Amino acid sequence: MLNTIGADLLMLMLFYRIEFIADIVTNAQNIQDLAQIPRDSTQQIRQDSINIPQNKQDNIYKDSTEKSQSSRIMKRAKNAETPNSITNQKRPNYRNLSVINVYKKQENDLTQFFFGIDVGISMANILYSLTEMKETSTSSKSYSLNSGFKVGVSNIDKYIGGRFYGEGSYIKIPKFHILNLGVNIDLLLNFYNTKTWGIGGFFGIGGGMYMVLFDDDSLKNSGKVPFSPIGWLGGGFRFVLENTHSFELSYRYSYIYASIYNYSESRPEIAGSATTQYKLKTDNITLSYILSF
């Protein structure tokens, strides 16, 4: 009986010991697994933390190297810019391609005052009208020499410019002495230039007035028109020497008739008044000499 109880107790103790040892082994295995996971994660994180910054460092190093090389090249070019530009400027065929410098190289801006004298031929168109009971009118042409002067200022670069000037001229037509005073504005063009001479043209517009003196005793002073407004268009060619002496051949067309005489008087025989009128329009061909200073 005692032997049986002792054997049972021995078997029970062995069973619990075996179970206890198995629990210890299982716990130890779990602890090892738990320890293994953080170790691997830590190694991976460490590896990632090492690899990513290393790649960035490589890129940063590469970029800094390229920037350093570019900076050195720019410094060399900057250091070489001054002597090269000076050398190039000494060369006769050197051309600076910048817009500003090209404009400066082509620019030959010249502002001058000038004085000129004119001689030419005037073709006068004269309209005469007499109004009594009815109006009768006739027209005639007259050719005469004209002479004049001009004073003004001009500004021209290599190819284009302008000028503004005042002028005076004198012509003689039947029964009248005509003094013309006016102002002009012209567009100047240079077709061909050298260092000593040039050829060009001009086109302009102007206006002024006629001042009239009588050369016929039959004309009445009360019929005089003191100032008769006129207008014209003109153009021509010019030849320039040394930017100082100019010779011009021009044609001027007057586009309105100016009234130079208008006299009315009573006529008992017609139980009314009679009106006498003269109107004038002149076209000129002129040769001019201009001195610029």
Mean pLDDT of 189-200: 92
**Are 269 and 230 contained in the same domain?**
yes
Q: How far apart are CA 282 and CA 254, in angstroms?
A: 6
CATH value at residue 222: 2.40.160.20
> Which of 49, 64, 94 represents a domain boundary (last residue)?
94
- The answer to whether position 104 is within a domain reads no
**Are 135 and 253 contained in the same domain?**
yes
- Of 163, 275, 159, the closest CA to residue 223 belongs to 275
Please give the pLDDT value at position 98: 43
Cα distances from 107 to residues 62, 225, 231, in angstroms, run 49, 49, 34
- The answer to whether position 56 is within a domain reads yes
Read off φ and ψ for residue 193, nearest 5 degrees: -130, 140
pLDDT > 80? residue 55: no
- For 80-121, how does the pLDDT look when each residue is reduced to its tens digit (9 = 90+)? 555 444 444 444 444 443 444 434 444 556 899 999 999 999
Please give the pLDDT value at position 212: 92
pLDDT > 70? residue 201: yes
Mean pLDDT of 231-245: 95
Q: How far apart are CA 115 and CA 290, in angstroms?
A: 6
pLDDT > 90? residue 149: yes
State how many domains the chain has: 2
Hey, what are 167's tokens?
Answer: 């002028």
**Are 125 and 163 contained in the same domain?**
yes
**Are 267 and 128 contained in the same domain?**
yes
- The answer to whether position 257 is within a domain reads yes
- The answer to whether position 219 is within a domain reads yes
- For 121-141, how does the pLDDT look when each residue is reduced to its tens digit (9 = 90+)? 999 999 999 887 787 889 999
- Of 183, 204, 203, 195, the closest CA to residue 244 belongs to 195
- The answer to whether position 241 is within a domain reads yes
Q: Give pTM, 2 decimals.
A: 0.61
Domain that holds residue 251: 110-292
**Are 201 and 238 contained in the same domain?**
yes
**Are 229 and 198 contained in the same domain?**
yes
**What string of DSSP letters covers 129-163?**
EEESSSEEEEEEEEEEEEEEEEEEEEEE-SSEEEE
**Are 54 and 186 contained in the same domain?**
no
- The answer to whether position 99 is within a domain reads no
